Structure 1
Amino acid sequence: MTHLKKHLAVFGFLLAAAVPAFAQQVIKLSTTTSTENSGLLQYLLPKFEARTNSKVNVISVGTGKALELAKNGDVDVTLVHARASEDKFVAEGHGVNRRDVMYNDFIIVGPETDPAKIKGSKDVLDAMKKITASGAKFISRGDNSGTDQMERAYWKQTGSQPQGGNYVSAGLGMGEVLTMAAELRAYTLTDRATYIAYRAKTGLQIVVEGDTRMFNPYGIIAVNPKNFPQANYKGAMQLVEWITSPEGQGLIAAFKVEGQQVFFPSYAGNSRGGK
């Protein structure tokens, strides 16, 4: 081997040894469809990835499925919106260090004709009773998402819900359900952010908003590393810390859809679940 070849071989060895130190880490995130459909993650994550030399692989599904993926160790961290389910997830030892991240609200949207005559209502339960009584169609997520869980809670409180062909359990994400509601001239319950992102293409109108029972908080939870030592707990906590940092919270506040703020930061230093 020539002197030059020896130097090149040594250089190649040193370069190969150095690569792992600069390798991009992968963080697997399960989350609800609203954070994806609204465009929030496409706005937030590149900033986090650039700062931490990370790649966040997003699985966007309903909250129930997102928590199930985290429970099974298929992801490192989860961002969802169903507080009772989140608390149960942490209490059962599946997740740690839950933090409030942001909130928006639920609304009921429907066709411009408003067959149930509920436009302008601020009472979600009364409006849903009128939807049932009117014989109008209602499209449900039907996917155990945070939205679906909230909707089912409303129907339980009203004591009734549309029957037969007037109630469609779609088993789809929020964007797809809004599209279906537009096609079938039906009502549906949606988070405001996804509705605004789809408003122009669906033509659906807001008919019910402003009820305090329609508050919609989001939380982020790291998968418990004791259950899954192979999980990227360090990366998960980097995301948890960043999204609740002044930078992350400021970016959430600055994110707009069609010029309108759709998520409101809510972290106030309160974490739950312990390490």
Structure 2
Amino acid sequence: MAVRRLSVALTLLCGFAAGIPASPAEDRAIVLASTTATQASGLLDYLLPIFTAKTGIEVTVIARRADEVLDGARKGEADVVLMHARPQEEKFVADGFGTKRFDVMYNDYVLIGPKSDPARVKGKDIATALKAIESKGVPFVTRGDRSGTHAAELALWIVAGIDIASVKGAWYHEAGHGQGMTAALDAAHAANAYVLSDRGSWIGFRDRGDLDIVVEGDKRLLNQYGVMLVNPEKYPNVKRELGQAFIDWLISPEGQGAIAGYKVDGQQVFFPNADKSGG
């Protein structure tokens, strides 16, 4: 499925670049740019066949880290953007690259760490936990890749009153650049380190070893997802009607119900909270 979607994505992008007329099948297809965390969670593989069965609209997914999602959308490489980096999303719309932004769903971030909890942070709030990790120099793994999760982590260091760029040392490890959340969790496992993860990626992570959730439930760990139509006035190739049909379905009671129904190992991964007024 992933290979087929990638092939279609490349075909569509080459067609956009060369000005080749779309085939009838491509006329009923859109390109969705989303983050690796959304794709890796399995949610899109669950949702998109439901949408296609209802509408006949095929959806090709291009999954990248957050900054790459928006960079590609600014080049007109997608019809719709679905991601979890609200400040960047709002700037994307304010700069005229997207139309409206709609809340779609949320999950949360969790601080993962060794069960032995060397920083003694289990059950603490996130700011207290990060202060303890930094002050004790306990190993911490960062995505370091300008993804939505990396942006959230950097914002949380600021909340904790820590200038991570100035104080980071040998204890602050960068995961493989551009390798995604699974690679960061693997690195934390190997280094017996702490790491910030979205809950969906953690639920799907199988090689946990001695890792466990040590901090959760802090309201500052909310992970909000938004969806936007790429501005067709800037990019004539954007399929306004089909892209908007996908957005409308996603924020409809049916789409919201489908999101709520997606579970991994019996656990709900995303929680719908569509704001139909747009943001």
Same fold (TM > 0.5): yes
CA distance in 2, matches of 1:21, 1:77: 20
**Equivalent-residue separation in structure 2 for 1:178 and 1:143 (angstroms):** 14
Question: Displacement, 1:185?
Answer: 1.3
Alpha-carbon shift at residue 253 of structure 1 (Å): 0.7
Where do residues 139-218 of structure 1 align in structure 2 (5 Å cutoff)?
139-157=141-159, 158-161=161-164, 163-170=168-175, 171=177, 172-198=179-205, 200-203=206-209, 204-218=211-225
What is the Cα-based RMSD across aligned positions, in Å? 1.7
Secondary structure class of the residue paired with 2:78: coil
Structure 2 residues not aligned, in runs of 5+: 1-22
- Asked whether the equivalents of residues 132 and 160 of structure 1 are also in contact (C-alpha less than 8 Å), the reply is no
Residue of structure 2 in register with 1:30 after alignment: 33
Alignment-derived partner of residue 71 in structure 2: 68
Q: Which of the numbers 48, 53, 57 marks the counterpart of 1:50?
A: 53
> What secondary structure is seen at the aligned counterpart in 2 of 1:201?
coil
Secondary structure at the counterpart of residue 144 of structure 1: coil
Is contact 1:100-1:270 (8 Å) kept? no
Asked whether 1:115 is paired with 2:122, we answer no
Alpha-carbon distance in structure 2 between the residues aligned to 1:21 and 1:49: 15
| Contact kept in structure 2, 1:129 and 1:160, CA below 8 Å | no
Change (3 A) 1:147 1:22: closer
Are the aligned partners of 1:106 and 1:216 in contact in 2 as well (CA < 8 Å)? Answer: yes
Amino acid at match of 2:116: T
The one-letter amino acid paired with 1:165 is A
Q: 1:245 aligns with which of 247, 252, 259?
A: 252
Unaligned ranges ≥5, structure 1:
1-19
Q: Using a 3 Å threshold, how does the CA distance of structure 1 residues 119 and 241 change in structure 2: closer, same or farther?
A: same
Amino acid at match of 1:167: Y
CA distance in 2, matches of 1:167, 1:211: 23
- Normalised by the length of structure 1, the TM-score is 0.86
Post-superposition Cα deviations, 1:184-214, rounded to whole Å, max 9, x if no partner, equal 211111111111111x322320011111111
1:128 pairs, out of 127, 130, 154, with 130
| Matching residue of 2:7 | none
* Number of residue pairs the alignment of both structures matches: 251
SS across alignment from 1:114 = coil
Deviation at 1:21, TM superposition (A): 5.8
One-letter identity of the residue aligned with 2:258: L
Alignment deviations for residues 48-73 of structure 1 (CA, whole Å, 9 cap, x no partner): 12222222111112222111111111
Letter in 1 for 2:97: H
* Separation (CA, whole Å) in 1 of partners of 2:38 and 2:115: 26
Q: Percent identity?
A: 44
Cα separation, 1, equivalents of 2:217 and 2:26: 47
Give 2:277's aligned amino acid: N
